[in-house]
Amino acid sequence: MAYDDGNVFARILRGEIPCKKVFEDDHVLAFHDINPQAKTHVLLIPKGRYVSLDDFSASASDAEIAALMRAVGRLGRDLGVAATGYRFLGNHGPDAHQEVAHFHVHLFGGQDLGRMLSPPRV
Ligand code: AMP
């Protein structure tokens, strides 16, 4: 799938629409999800034009990939959820119901998050 510069996260990166920013560095922007699914629900996005995890893992530089992973760990600590636990989740494609076609990962925490898939689907 080709990258669409009109997607909502591209617009956030260009400053066309606001976000509640929690972290930024050269490669990553992180902000609160507009429709939180847990007490803590933050999205981390690369600044580069990647459609999904499949695209990012294949095409991003080592520096971009490392920056995203470092940011997840750092935010877990900074948001105060590292001690109690958190979930780090990325949706790729239709089976995972990816809604926004700019790669992003979710960080959920601040409460018991239940089992990984609830209810089990197999
Ligand atoms: P996904 O299903 O993994 O593609 O998740 C997309 C996420 O983006 C959802 O959790 C939405 O609530 C979130 N979202 C959509 N628009 C915005 C926005 N303008 N600011 C923050 N989060 C958003």
Any catalytic annotation for residue 102? Answer: no
H helical segments located in the chain: 8-13, 53-59, 62-78
In this prediction, residue 120 carries a pLDDT of: 73
Band of pLDDT at residue 113, cut at 50, 70 and 90: very high
Distance 32 CA to ligand 1 centre (A): 9
Q: Of 27, 102, 104, 106, which one is the catalytic site residue?
A: 104
Of the chain, the percentage scoring pLDDT greater than 90 comes to 93
Contact 98, 92 (CB under 8 A): yes
Taking CA 98 as the corner, what is the angle to CA 95 and CA 99, rounded to the nearest 5 degrees?
135
Q: Under DSSP, is residue 87 helix (H, G, I), strand (E, B) or coil?
A: strand
Q: pLDDT digits over 70-81, tens only? A: 999 999 999 999
Rounded to an integer, what is the distance from CA 59 to the centroid of its chain? 17
Prediction pTM value: 0.96
Match 């066309």 to its residue by tokens: 16
For ligand 1, residues with CB inside 6 Å are 8, 17, 19, 33-35, 43, 91, 97-100
